[in-house]
């Protein structure tokens, strides 16, 4: 069933952009799939019908470049993938449409809160959801160590370190003043990535994957059923008035589930989830076209997932 003539996926060289393209190819929802990124040193050409180069999202010519791609390829759907691009679309007043072209993103409130990790913690606190203590580095020394040092925005695993030596605190205050101290949630073998989707009618769907990390990505995982986590993330969806798809990362502690990231975008596990029946990308596209969704039936079997390595060979001409 073709719903779109030509879809544009930004950040097409990243794992999420490539995953979204693969799902669109499998589903046949878009006749053509165009990608764009800040460079062409990636395997996107093996998946996309065409790949274009654009400036960084904060560059003054970024949106003009997107417009040129729209006209060149007759784009009728845009799926922003990177948080930097999602942030710029929102900052410039594009939440549902860009030049009359529909944008596939979560609702504005979910994006704003998810993009800023201080706002994320404030949101959890204000809605009586357990949260990790969090301080801006330049304001105070961390109330306890070991703790996490992380960026305030962007990918949570990028430049994330565990701080256990108090002698390094003055160094980090000087070199990373705008970043965050955050509670080290334990145990570290109880980390979960949770797909969370709320339909236009308010139906909340989720999938919970207990995961092991490697290099900032989910190396392997086990699909689980956990009522405490499910109740916790459903409260997040309701409090955000969520519309669309987000990803919640949390740890299951002695206090219960505690979220440390709300990613206002599709997850790097989007292909795994699609294959398991949690098809949040497809649901988003169907609802964008005002097509009613069929009921979601969670798969109650315990599936293990593994991220493998695939080799790509491209002959240069």
pLDDT in tens, 3-53: 999 999 999 999 999 999 999 999 999 999 999 999 999 999 999 999 999
Q: Is residue 191 part of a domain?
A: yes
Does residue 118 form part of some domain?
no
Determine, yes or no, domain membership for 194.
yes
Answer yes or no: is 101 within a domain.
yes
Nearest to 38 by CA among 20, 64, 65, 18: 65
Using DSSP, state whether 231 is helix, strand or coil: helix
The pLDDT-based confidence of 140 (bands split at 50, 70, 90) is: confident
CA distance 73 to 79: 15
Are residues 200 and 282 both part of a single domain? yes
Q: What 8-state DSSP symbol labels residue 113?
A: H
What was the pLDDT predicted at 156? 53
Q: What is the DSSP letter of 103?
A: B
Least confident of 72-76, 178-182, 207-211, 215-219: 215-219
Tell whether 52 and 95 lie within a shared domain: yes
Q: Are residues 238 and 270 in the same domain?
A: yes
| Beta-carbon count within 10 A of 81 CB | 26
Q: How many CA atoms lie within 13 A of 229 on its CB side?
A: 24
Q: What is the pLDDT of residue 305?
A: 87
Q: Examine residue 94 and say whether the peptide bond preceding it is cis (omega within 30 degrees of 0).
A: no
pLDDT tens, 266-277? 999 999 999 999
| Token output for 124 | 């959890």
Q: Does residue 14 sit in the same domain as residue 99?
A: yes
Least confident of 37-51, 94-108, 147-161: 147-161
Query: Token pair of 228, please?
Result: 């405490």
Question: Are residues 10 and 44 located together in one domain of the fold?
Answer: yes
| Band of pLDDT at residue 147, cut at 50, 70 and 90 | very high
262 falls within a domain: yes
Confidence check: pLDDT of 102 > 70: yes
The answer to whether residue 120 is domain-embedded is: no
Of the two residues 280 and 300, the one the predictor is more confident about is 280
Q: What is the mean pLDDT of residues 247-273?
A: 96
The verdict on residue 300 lying in a domain is: yes
Q: Quick check: 315 pLDDT over 80?
A: no
The count of structural domains within the chain is 3
End-to-end Cα, the chain, rounded Å: 36
Higher pLDDT, 259 or 155: 259
Given pLDDT bands bounded at 50, 70 and 90, which one contains residue 301?
A: confident
**Between residues 200 and 315, the one the model is more confident about:** 200
The domain boundary residue, chosen from 183, 209, 224: 183
Here the tokens at position 159 are 């430049």
Q: What is the pLDDT of residue 300?
A: 79
Kindly state whether residues 139 and 78 are assigned to the same domain: no
CA–CA separation, 224 vs 207, rounded Å?
Answer: 8
Q: 């609802």: which residue's tokens?
A: 287
The pLDDT score that the predictor gives to residue 204 is 98
CB 298 within 8 A of CB 223: no
The bridge status of strand 217-224 relative to strand 244-253 is unpaired
Q: Are both 198 and 300 inside the same structural domain?
A: yes
pLDDT above 90 as % of the chain: 86
Specify whether the backbone of 100 is left (phi greater than 0), alpha (psi in -120 to 50) or beta: left
* Closest-CA residue to 48 (of 18, 89, 90, 5): 18
Residues 198 and 301 in one domain: yes
Task: Show which of 88, 105, 122 is a domain's final residue.
Answer: 105
Residue 293, domain member (yes or no): yes
Which CATH number fits the domain that encloses residue 36? 3.40.50.20
Confidence of residue 215 (pLDDT cuts 50, 70, 90): low
How far is 298 from 208, CA to CA, in rounded Å? 10
Q: What average pLDDT does this structure show over 76-82?
A: 96
- Which domain covers residue 147, as residue numbers? 133-183
Neighbour count for residue 181 (Cβ, 10 Å): 27
Among residues 183, 218, 245, the one where a domain terminates is: 183
> For residues 179 and 152, is the Cβ–Cβ distance under 8 A?
yes
Tell me what the pLDDT averaged over the chain comes to. Answer: 94
Determine the average pLDDT of the residues in 169-195. 96
Distance CA 15, CA 307 (A): 11
Question: In this structure, are 157 and 81 located in the same domain?
Answer: no
Q: Which pLDDT belongs to residue 216? A: 65
Give this prediction's pTM. Answer: 0.93
CB-CB contact of 244 with 284 (8 Å): yes
**CATH number assigned to the domain comprising residue 261:** 3.30.470.20
């Amino acid at each position: 069933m073709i719903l779109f003539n030509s879809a544009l996926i930004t950040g097409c060289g990243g794992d999420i952009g490539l995953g979204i393209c693969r799902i669109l190819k499998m589903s046949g929802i878009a006749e053509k799939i165009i990608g764009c990124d800040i460079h062409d040193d990636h395997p996107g050409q093996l998946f996309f019908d065409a790949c274009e180069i654009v400036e960084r999202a904060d560059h003054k010519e970024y949106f003009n470049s997107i417009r040129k791609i729209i006209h060149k390829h007759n784009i009728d759907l845009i799926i922003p993938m990177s948080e930097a691009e999602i942030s710029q679309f929102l900052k410039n007043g594009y939440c549902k449409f860009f030049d009359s072209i529909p944008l596939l993103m979560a609702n504005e409130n979910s994006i704003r809160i998810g993009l800023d990790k201080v706002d994320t913690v404030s949101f959890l606190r204000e809605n009586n959801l357990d949260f990790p203590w969090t301080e801006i580095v330049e304001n105070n020394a961390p109330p306890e160590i070991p703790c996490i040092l992380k960026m305030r925005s962007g990918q949570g695993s990028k430049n994330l370190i565990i701080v256990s030596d108090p002698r390094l605190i003055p160094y980090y205050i000087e070199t990373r003043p705008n970043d965050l101290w955050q509670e080290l949630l334990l145990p570290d073998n109880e980390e979960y990535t949770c797909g969370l989707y709320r339909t236009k009618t308010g139906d909340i769907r989720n999938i919970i994957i207990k995961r092991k990390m490697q290099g900032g990505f989910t190396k392997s995982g086990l699909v689980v059923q956990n009522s405490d986590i499910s109740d916790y993330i459903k409260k997040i969806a309701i409090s955000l008035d969520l519309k669309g798809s987000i990803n919640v990362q949390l740890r299951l502690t002695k206090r219960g589930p505690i979220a440390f990231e709300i990613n206002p975008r599709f997850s790097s596990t989007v292909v795994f989830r699609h294959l398991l029946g949690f098809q949040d990308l497809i649901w988003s596209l169907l609802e964008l076209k005002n097509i009613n969704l069929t009921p979601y039936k969670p798969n109650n079997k315990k599936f293990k997932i593994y991220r493998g390595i695939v080799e790509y060979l491209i002959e240069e001409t």
